[in-house]
Amino acid sequence: MSTAEKTFSKGLEGVIAAQTEMSFINGTEGILEYVGIAIGDLASKSSFEETVFLLWNKRLPTKPELEQFTADLRSHYTLCDEMVTQIKSCPIKAEPMHVIRSMISMCAMYDENPNENSVEAARHKSMRILAVAPAIVAAFDRHRRGLEIVKADPSLNFASNFLYMLNGEKPTDAMVRAFDICMITHADHGLNNSTFAARVVISTLSDLYSAMTAAIGSLRGPLHGGANEGVMKMLNKIDSVETAEAHVMGMIKNKERIMGFGHRVYKAKDPRASELMTLAKQLAEDTGNMDLYNKSHAIEKIMEREYASKGIYPNVDFYSATTYHCIGLKLDLFTPMFVLARIAGWAGHVIEQLEDNRLFRPTTDYIGPHNAPYTPIEKR
């Protein structure tokens, strides 16, 4: 019996399950790096496309490399006609996360060789899935709103193209930049649950679509990506900055969970939250949503006063909610935005797993009976 076997760590907390060269998290000090580069530097200086290249190649691209990478991505922006038909066949009342999970799963049926798992094939499929996912989200949202589906525009960057397909008009520069930063800050984050699910699934040498589908299913959970919707729901229940104090203190008294605070990993400030706070404020100003920003900021101050000594700070979901609202996204599209960004991380981890695979097959602590008889039914 190995050392690990003796220890049952619920939720595998503290258990190392994989090696990675992508993101490094120091929760105590509030540090997040992608391939060694501080998330703050990437958020302020890089683009989502460049960040994806960094995560997949473990280094920043040269100018020609970035141009090639971007051109490849853009060449896969457009949905095939069959996928458009499939999206239009989804019931309009369906939750977008169920639609996206199902549609990414279905993409396997329109791939000539869905099960290729060479590292090269995995990179190519990852690129295609990343490129087409925004089109799926936008197409379903327009379909359910009774609007014509807007075709992708390969002259636009990832962020701009998505907002264009969603709204049918070119977004402002501030919106594009804000969205781009959201994508960068959400692109990877160690062995979070969905990334772990993707690695677990690909370790059977299944396929990219299976791994991505599993990850999307995980992300929609309220203990994971679903949390950013919870923040907005909470903010909507608070009438104004003036009543925030009473509302939040009431929630604390009733032991209700204050959404968007605390994180299993971070005991200091979530370094992604700082970037988003600055961004959220600017966007709120630009879009006439300062009331929402002020409510968020008031809640942060109350929580800091009450819990900072316990290491409870706003997490990445807290200010991404305000940001997405200001961009004009409906509540149930918040978690799908997390999908668009995290596909980068899922794909990178799947590739790392394929490069040095070992089937995930942990063991259980069996706590049931032994040697039980099969009693015939008439004697039970």
Contacting range for a second copy; rule: CB under 8 A; set: 68-76, 84-92, 118-126, 269-277: 84-92
Q: Which of 125, 111, 186, 131 is nearest to 354 (CA)?
A: 125
What Rg, from alpha-carbon coordinates, does the chain have?
A: 22
DSSP character at residue 378: G
Q: Is 60 in the site for a second copy (CB under 8 A)?
A: yes
Q: Is 22 in the site for a second copy (CB under 8 A)?
A: yes
Q: How many CB atoms lie within 10 A of CB 61?
A: 18
* Cβ at position 195, least distance to a second copy in Å: 9
Given the complex with a second copy, which of 32 and 327 has the nearer CB atom? 32
**32, 42, 136, 303: which one contacts a second copy (CB under 8 A)?**
42
* Site residues (CB under 8 A) for a second copy, limited to 132-151: none
The interface mask with a second copy, positions 178-217, x = CB under 8 A, is: ------------xxxxx-xx--xxxxxxxx-xxx-xx-xx
263 catalytic, yes or no?
yes
Distance CA 31, CA 181 (A): 17
Q: Is 217 helix (H, G, I), strand (E, B) or coil?
A: helix
- Given the residues 188, 207, 270, 317, the one annotated as active site: 317
Q: Is 29 in the site for a second copy (CB under 8 A)?
A: no
* Cβ at position 245, least distance to a second copy in Å: 30
118 Cβ contact partners less than 8 Å away, ≥ 6 residues apart: none
Q: Is 308 helix (H, G, I), strand (E, B) or coil?
A: helix
Given the complex with a second copy, which of 46 and 322 has the nearer CB atom? 46
Q: Is the dihedral of CA 67, 69, 72, 73 positive or negative?
A: negative
Environment class of 14 (CB within 10 Å of its CB; exposed 0-12, middle 13-18, buried 19+): exposed
Q: Is 95 in the site for a second copy (CB under 8 A)?
A: yes
Q: Is 374 in the site for a second copy (CB under 8 A)?
A: yes
Given the complex with a second copy, which of 54 and 298 has the nearer CB atom? 54
* Site residues (CB under 8 A) for a second copy, limited to 256-315: 264-265
**30, 32, 46, 283: which one contacts a second copy (CB under 8 A)?**
46
Contacting range for a second copy; rule: CB under 8 A; set: 30-38, 124-132, 235-243, 248-256: 30-38
**161, 185, 218, 228: which one contacts a second copy (CB under 8 A)?**
218
Distance CA 374, CA 380 (A): 10
Q: Which of 279, 59, 69, 40 is nearest to 157 (CA)?
A: 69
* Cβ at position 13, least distance to a second copy in Å: 7
Give CA separation, 252 vs 78, 143, 156, 235, 237, in Å. Answer: 47, 41, 45, 15, 15
**So which residues are the catalytic ones?**
263, 317
